[in-house]
């Protein structure tokens, strides 16, 4: 399960798609989270060759105690997709043998700010 946070937090199941660069959520989920859409959108080519234009927003993604702000594309999808950019940002990889996500590097939380 994945915890998504923007204005509100929601725990959802997401499809881990190593063929997808970006994470994609439905407009309904984006609205439920209160994700503020950025003024721009992006044009992408899908696996079937079609081009689509999707909205862009940001949500904090939390999996297994690891948390990072991740770019979320907003478009019609049957289920939320967790893409490679999110996995890299969280320091996770797919362990296909065990059918789970595993740490690809140590994870540290930065406390405070820079001076």
Instruction: Show me where the domains of the chain are located.
Output: 2-77
Indicate the pTM of the whole model: 0.84
Digits of tens for pLDDT over the chain (115 positions)? 999 999 999 999 999 999 999 999 999 999 999 998 777 788 988 888 999 999 999 999 999 999 999 999 999 999 999 999 999 999 999 999 999 999 988 876 655 554 4
- Out of 3.40.50.720, 2.40.70.10, 3.40.50.20, 3.60.20.10, which CATH number does the structure's domain 2-77 have? 2.40.70.10
The predicted pLDDT at position 17 comes to 95
Residue 27's contacts (CB-CB under 8 Å, 6 or more residues apart) are 55, 74, 75, 76
Token match 């499809």: residue?
15
């Amino acid at each position: 399960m994945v915890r998504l946070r923007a204005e509100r937090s929601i725990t959802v199941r997401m499809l881990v798609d190593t063929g997808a660069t970006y994470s994609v959520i439905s407009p309904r989920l984006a609205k439920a989270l209160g994700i503020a859409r950025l003024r721009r959108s992006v044009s992408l080519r899908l696996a079937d060759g079609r081009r689509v234009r999707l909205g862009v927003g940001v949500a904090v993604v939390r999996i297994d105690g690891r948390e990072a702000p991740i770019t979320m594309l907003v478009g019609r999808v049957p289920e939320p997709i967790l893409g490679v950019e999110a996995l890299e940002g969280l320091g996770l990889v797919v362990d296909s043998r065990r059918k789970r996500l595993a740490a690809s590097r140590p994870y540290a939380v930065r406390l405070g700010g820079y001076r």
